[in-house]
Every structure is written in structure tokens, then in C-alpha cells.
A and B are shown apart, each in its own frame.
Chain A
Amino acid sequence: MAKTYDYLLKLLLIGDSGVGKTSILFRFSEDAFNISFISTIGIDFKIRTIDLDGKKVKLQIWDTAGQERFRTITTAYYRGSMGIMLVYDVTNEKSFENIKNWIRNIEENASADVEKMILGNKCDLDSKRQVSKERGEQLAIEYQIKFVETSAKDSLNVEYAFFTLARDIKAKMEKKQEASNPAPRSGAHQLRANEQQRKPTSWLSRCSLL
């Protein structure tokens, strides 16, 4: 199969339940907003290919599958991730406080050089706001992470957020590639039914000893 992209980036969404991770994902991947779903069922990851400086960048964005609810994200979720969106809800103080815990969780489990960005979601609900924009900015400065307030509902800054994160990762990758030419291949692979399988031959050609 021909590669239809120049870069494949694995991104994660992280944050407390109900902050709107899945809504952000849907807004970005399908430009849709469905207010009725409460927790994440059946959403694994979504894909959108974007154009960045003339390159096709395929974003594979993973949702938590609800495993954040009782803080039971698997270590496997973090493997191979290049960027993480840390999401809180501006109308929920607790979700903002928990960002620090999620950052600790990331430090423990994700690769050390993973790119991060903090999103204060639901900024359309100004009347219910508990966390000011300034506090969000302050936190981001503290951790030296980029920050933006978003509204998945009003489609505010969601595009901007993903493009920014993707651009930062791409820049980092290009820098690395320059440093070590050619780029190292990981060599690990995923299992597929047909790929790599040599044509069904007699086992004799498979078996070595012969």
C-alpha cells in the first residue's frame, strides 16, 4: 500500500472525565459536536490528515476509552505517543487542579520528550466559569507548555491547538533527522493478517534446517 502521508503522529488526549476530550476529538476529526454523549464508548482513536508546510501529516489521535475515570489509564496507552493534549474544563475547578496529577502521570509513563499542550475547554460557558484564563496561562508557564482555551461546541481554537501541537512535533522530528542521518527505524512492527507474510509456500522453503 502506498504511503499517503509524510509523517504519522500519535497524539493522546488526557484529562479528567467529562472535560470534553471526546468532543474535542470529534470536532477536530469530523467537525461535529454531539452534546449527548456523556462518556467515551466505542471511541478508540480518530484519524485526520492535515497539510503542514506542504507536508501531509497524518494525525492519529487516541481517546482514553473512559479509563481515566478511576485513574486507570494503562501504561500501554502512552507507548509511542509523540504529543499529548492535557484537557481541563474551565467550569470545573477540580479538573484544573488535576492537570498537575496528569502531568506527573505522563512523566512517569510517556517518553521524556513528548510534546504537551494544555487546553482549557468549554470556554463558551462563561457564566459557569470557575477557572480564569490567567490561571490557565500561569500553569502553562510553570510547566513551560503551550496553552489555549477551546470550545469544542463553538469550534473555537480546536484546529489551532492540533495544528500547533503537530507543528511542534514535526519541527522536533525534522531537527532529529538532521542530527542523525538517516533517521533510525524502530524495527518493531504491528501484526497484520497479510502483511509480511510470504506467499503460501510449502513449509520446506520455510524450514531452515533443510
Chain B
Amino acid sequence: MDDDLPTDFQVIVVGTGMVESIVAAACSRIGKNVLHLDSSDHYGGLWASYNFDGLQKFIKEVNSDPKRQLQVYNLSEKWYIEKDSPQEEKKEEGDENKTDDSKSQPSKKVWSQASFAAEYRKFNIDMTPKLLFSRGPLVELLISSNIARYAEFRCVTRVLTWLDNRLMPVPCSRADVFATEAVSIVEKRMLMKMLTSIVGYNEEEMNNEFKGWNDKTFKEYLEHKGLTPNLIHYVLFAIAGGTNKMPCLEGVKECKKFLMSLGRYGNTPFLWPMYGSGELPQCFCRLCAVFGGVYCLNRPIDKVGTKTVDEGKTVVTIDSKSKTLNCDHLVIGINECPKEMISPEPVESCDISKAVFITNGSIMASEKEPLTLLRFPPLTDEDNTVTVLEVGPATGSCPKGLFVVYFITKKVKDAETDLKPYAERIFDMSGGDQTATSEKPKCLWSVMYNVRDTSACTRSTVDSVHVCSGPDASLDFDRAVSQAEQIFKQICPGEEFLPRAPDPEEIVFEEEVPRGPEFRSDDADAEHNE
């Protein structure tokens, strides 16, 4: 089937992770002839979202293939529920309950491994769950490039923190502030003064202001400003997402980012992609394809080489399925790249500990289905902040009645040791009767694993081979976007990075629709007639 695959391209992209996909779209958009390959049968690589079936395959693959364990290791899956559903009579009982409690308290379904399997398609579980800052670089890029039309988002409805041994909402809107008693009026004023100045600084002013703070922590700064312990907790852990060790300037920048993204879409500064983060690379792939990029999955590559053709030009050659593909530039995901082509740079790397839990309720009940970001302050001095994202059925992540909860932190020991103590704070992990009412939601299923950190910028030994990093532990996609832009600028110096794609509505023949200035159909026709 792949035999009619053309062999010569200006740019070949191997791997459909976030960075690779953005570069592919950007190159195709400005007219480069692009081939985009992936060795697996789905998009996204380590950035993918899986349904429950796909996830089971992924887990099996990782546990049986030593090669995969170079990327993902210490993987352990656990069920907290029975294999099969209890007898079907339960159903009737459930219906009765429904009429009793009316809408507010639908009867709790008893889940089994079989009922998960039966609804496998309704799950979209992220390997790399991330949020977008409403005014962050990815949101701006999606809008300016018009790729936003391929995706839908939901607003994160609340930010929580762990304070005094319980979950506490972090006030993010005026309404929240009125509702909260956690911050006194005096404290609010104190905080206002400090945050106003942070948002007001431009880069230069910021560097000047914090000159003396280079070797100090953000916490020391907050203490210096006279903030009370409560406020320091909110600012340091919930807003800046830091730890006691967070350097001052980094904390200031994180705060500014958070504050600047407030008030654009929802109550909080964050957006979550519908159906999971794995949709996003695909959106960029779609744009690449619309502008002529050729797509081929299930296409492993065997060998990468170079050859010099006349005029001393270097061509990168790729052997794949007994075919040799040629290109001027190869963009390749770090996990696909032959080791000898990566020039080792001594960088401090820190692997990532991750976990996914599926539960039968939210970590903190609320009237409407919540979408939650919780930043857990480290429980011990050794630990790092643990980022928790809880998403529900409205995001297309799971069937009704369930929540998917992601845990992400920088690895200290291993995923289970790093994350289980945090999970136990907010979930009931004892198994047992799912219908029993309890404070905490029941954990029904979990998987924990470590991911090798490949987020550091890596160089290749060949100028025309560009290596793309894997996912990092941070909350957003900012690093992927900036790396993609850098790679694009190396390949296409002087070209615009993802200029706005015309709206199809601009090319529609409908009298009441005015044509936009970027009407492109002339070009398109010319191409077609060639």
C-alpha cells in the first residue's frame, strides 16, 4: 500500500510528537514539500491520548519491549475493582434510586473491569497531559495560525491547593474572593501591592528589581515583602507552582504568567483540550496535510545516512521498508533518532514520575462538573511539587460517572514511591464497596510509570538533521512551541512561522459572505491547473 510513496522531499519529519508536528505544519504552510512519518500506528508518540483499549496495548508493549523501556519504565498497572460486574439485577435497583434522589444524586454505578472494557472508546487518556495558559504562546499560535479551528477547549474551572491537610480552592476570580474567608482584607492589600508590581514590570525592570535576589529563593522574597504564611502558600505553591527552593526570579516570572492569563476565557488562567492533549499534535498535522504534506503512519525507519550530491550539497537519506527516501532536512523525534547522530551535551536531566488514576467521583464535590488543577506542595523536603489534573466526562476523557486524574512530578525515587503518598491523601485506595458514601472518591484503576527526560535541547551531529525533544514535566507546552520555532528558523531562515491560514469561509461562494483579504483561491487554482 505504501509503495507509491514518493521518495524525494524537501523536509521529512519522523515522529508525530508535539514538536515534530508543529515543525511539519510550519514547513508545509510556507510551501515546503513535507513527508511526515511515524513508526507506530497512531499519532502523537509519547504525546498521544489513548482509549482504554489502546492504553492496554501501550502498557503491554512497554512491559514486553526492552526498547520501549528506554523511554518509559517502572510501569505498574493496578485494578481496585472486580473483573466482572455484579449480577444484572443491580440495574433495576439503580433505576429506583434515580427516581428517589432525582437529578442531584444519580445512583452510583458499580464499575468492573468488564464495564471499563465495554466503554473503552469513551476514554481518552493522555500520556502527556498539559494545560494551556490562556495568553500563553500556544494559544496565541493556535489563534494566529488559524489552527484553533481544529480543536476545542474547556476552561479549567478551579485551582486547588493542599493546605492544613485538606484541599482548598485558590480564589481566581472576584466572585471567588468574596466567597473565600481564607484571606483577610489586610492580607489582600498586602498581596495586591506585591502582585501589582510583578505584573507591571517589563523584562528589563524585572531583572533590575531582582538583581540582588539572584541567589535567593522566591519564598525569601515573599517573606521579605511581609506576606503571611497563608499568602506565601497561595503564591508560592498554587500560583507559581514552586517549592521552597524555587529561585526568586523564576517565581516572579511564573506568577506573572499566571496573572496575565486570567480573565481571557474562564475563571482560571488555564485551558484543557477536549479529548485530551493528544489532539493537539494532530491539529498541526492536519494543517500540514491541508497544505500538501504527505502522511504515513506505521512506517518505521531502519537507517539514517547522508550523501553528498553535486555542488557539495548534503542530502539526508532514510531507509524505510526497502525504500530510500531523500530530503534536504530531516526533523526527527529524539526517540527515533539513531544514537550516533545525537551529539551528547552534558545537561542535567531529571526524569518524570507520572500516574493516572480513574476514580468514581471528584476529589472535591461541586455543583457543576469541575475541571481541576491542583498543585500539591511537596510533603517532604526531598519531594517536588506534584501537579494534579482532574478531568471528567465533559472533556471527552471518560464515561459518565468517572474522573481521570493525572499526577506529574519530577522523579526522586520512582513513580510509585514519589506519587502514592499524594494519591492517598485525596483518594480512597482501599477498593471495596463503590456505592458506600465516603469523603474521598474511590480509586478504581491506576497506572504509574516513569518517563525518561528528553526535554533538554539536543543537537545532532549533522547540520540538516534536527532533533526534537520529548515531553517535559512542566504544566504547559511552551517549551515545545519555542523549540519548534527554533527548528523551523534553522530550516527556513527568514520565513514567517505559521502565518494565518485562510478561512474556508473566505473561499466560499456565498453572496452574503464577504471575502477576506487573504483570499487564496487564485493560487490554489493555479496549482491545480499545473
Contact = CB atoms under 8 A, between A and B. Distances in A.
Interface stretch (A29-37, A114-122, A142-150): A29-37
B294 A45 contact: no
A207 B262 contact: yes
Interface in B4-44: 5, 42-43
Given A41-B524, A190-B148, A36 B289 contact: no
Given A47-B510, A197-B264, A42 B520 contact: yes
A191 B153 contact: yes
B286 A76 contact: yes
A210 B188 contact: yes
B263 A49 contact: no
A174 to B, nearest CB: 24
A49 B510 contact: yes
A162 to B, nearest CB: 15
B171 interface: yes
Given A74-B286, A191-B153, A46 B508 contact: yes
A67 B289 contact: yes
B153 A203 contact: no
Interface string B134-171: 00000100111000111111100000000000000001
A75 B282 contact: yes
A188 interface: yes
B171 A188 contact: no
A206 B234 CA distance: 17
B265 A196 contact: yes
B509 A30 contact: yes
A196 B264 contact: yes
B348 interface: no
A74 B290 CA distance: 13
Interface size classification for chain A:
35 or more
B195 A210 contact: yes
Contacts of A209: 171-172, 177, 183, 188, 191-192, 195, 234
A193 B172 contact: no
B295 interface: yes
Contact of A208 (B177, B505, B510, B520): B177
B291 A41 contact: yes
A72 interface: yes
Given A36-B528, A48-B510, A208-B176, A193 B296 contact: no
B121 interface: yes
Interface in A153-200: 186-193, 196-198
B199 A70 contact: no
B85 interface: no
Given A70-B296, A209-B177, A203 B151 contact: no
A208 B508 contact: no
Contacts of A71: 1, 297
Contact of B292 (A42, A189, A192, A196): A42
A196 B512 CA distance: 25
A127 interface: no
A74 B509 contact: no
B173 interface: yes
A36 B529 CA distance: 6
Contacts of B65: none
A186 B191 CA distance: 37
A119 B524 CA distance: 26
A70 B259 contact: no
A116 B309 CA distance: 51
A65 B286 CA distance: 7
Contacts of B529: 36
Given A47-B504, A67-B286, A209-B195, A34 B264 contact: no
Contacts of A191: 139, 142-143, 148, 151, 153, 265, 271
B2 A203 contact: no
B123 interface: no
B374 interface: no
A190 B188 contact: no
B509 A190 contact: no
B369 to A, nearest CB: 9
B394 A203 contact: no
A41 B151 contact: no
Nearest to A80: B152
A187 B297 contact: no
Nearest to B265: A196
A209 B191 CA distance: 8
B381 interface: no
A65 B149 CA distance: 15
B148 A189 contact: no
A93 interface: no
Given A46-B508, A66-B289, A207-B262, A189 B152 contact: yes
A79 interface: yes
A11 B504 CA distance: 14
B509 A29 contact: yes
Interface in B288-338: 289-292, 294-297, 299
Nearest to B291: A42
A65 B289 contact: yes
Nearest to A198: B263
Contacts of A126: none
Given A47-B508, A204-B192, A42 B121 contact: no
Contact of A189 (B1, B153, B183): B153
A66 B28 CA distance: 14
Given A187-B394, A209-B171, A108 B275 contact: no
Contacts of A187: 154, 394
B285 A74 contact: yes
B240 interface: no
A125 interface: no
Contact of A43 (B121, B279, B290, B294): B290
20 contacts: A36-B528, A36-B529, A42-B527, A43-B524, A44-B504, A67-B286, A72-B295, A74-B282, A74-B285, A76-B282, A112-B121, A187-B154, A192-B148, A203-B196, A204-B192, A205-B174, A206-B262, A209-B172, A209-B177, A209-B234
Given A67-B289, A196-B264, A208-B174, 8 more contacts: A72-B43, A79-B152, A79-B279, A187-B154, A189-B153, A191-B153, A198-B263, A208-B176
